[in-house]
Amino acid sequence: MSTDEAEREFVEFVQRNLTSLYAAAFRVCGNRHLAEDLLQESLAKMWKGWLNKRNQEGAPLKGWAYRIIGNAAIDSHRKNKSRLTGKNQNPVSEVPWDDEKGGQIPGSSETSEEAIFRDTARELWAAVATLDQVQQTLIHLLYVEQLSLNAACRVAGLKWTTANRYHVDALARLREIIGDEE
């Protein structure tokens, strides 16, 4: 495969999956500016390994991309954590970008239903962040991208039984954290 052909395929992959990759980056860091930086760093890492990954038959590229985003988020968190000088200081990445305006984006007007939805979504994604990386990826694929379990298995590179076990365990853990209101 030539470099030009690989570059074209990489650009097509990124264009086709940019929204879901950004959503995954936002999900792991909870901040739009940090998500953009994280995605940019992850795309650079993906490009470095693109030729090797593309040459592997049946390689689940989207699952590989999610794994790179998750690993980059962990690296970024470790880097920020090591910069702390005192016990009670928080890195900038842990301060939500919109909390200065009481959880509301500046310049927007929010109804009470939107505020409830926003708070519920924040609580839900905070709970999802406590899951392990595979469970987080499956939750994202199944509920954000609305893939079937079979399709999510292919993307994540898992067998159906393994993915189903992770999914069931993730839902049970989320019910413990958030509470089951059924």
Q: Considering only residues 45 and 61, tell me which one the structure prediction assigns the higher pLDDT.
A: 45
- What was the pLDDT predicted at 25? 86
Q: Who's near 3: CB < 8 A, 6+ residues apart? A: none
Q: Where are the domains of the chain?
A: 1-92, 112-182
CATH classification of 112-182, choosing from 1.20.140.160, 3.20.20.70, 3.10.290.10, 1.10.357.10?
1.20.140.160
Tens of pLDDT, residues 93-148: 343 444 444 444 444 455 667 777 777 777 888 888 888 888 888 888 888 778 88
Please check whether the two domains, 1-92 and 112-182, share a CATH topology: no
The model's pTM: 0.53
> Is the pLDDT assigned to residue 182 strictly greater than 70?
no
The Cα 102–Cα 162 span in angstroms is 41
- What was the pLDDT predicted at 56? 67
- Helix, coil or strand: residue 12: helix
Lowest mean pLDDT among 38-42, 82-86, 108-112, 117-121: 82-86
CATH classification of 1-92, choosing from 1.10.1240.10, 3.20.20.100, 3.30.70.270, 1.10.1740.10?
1.10.1740.10
The Cα 49–Cα 56 span in angstroms is 11
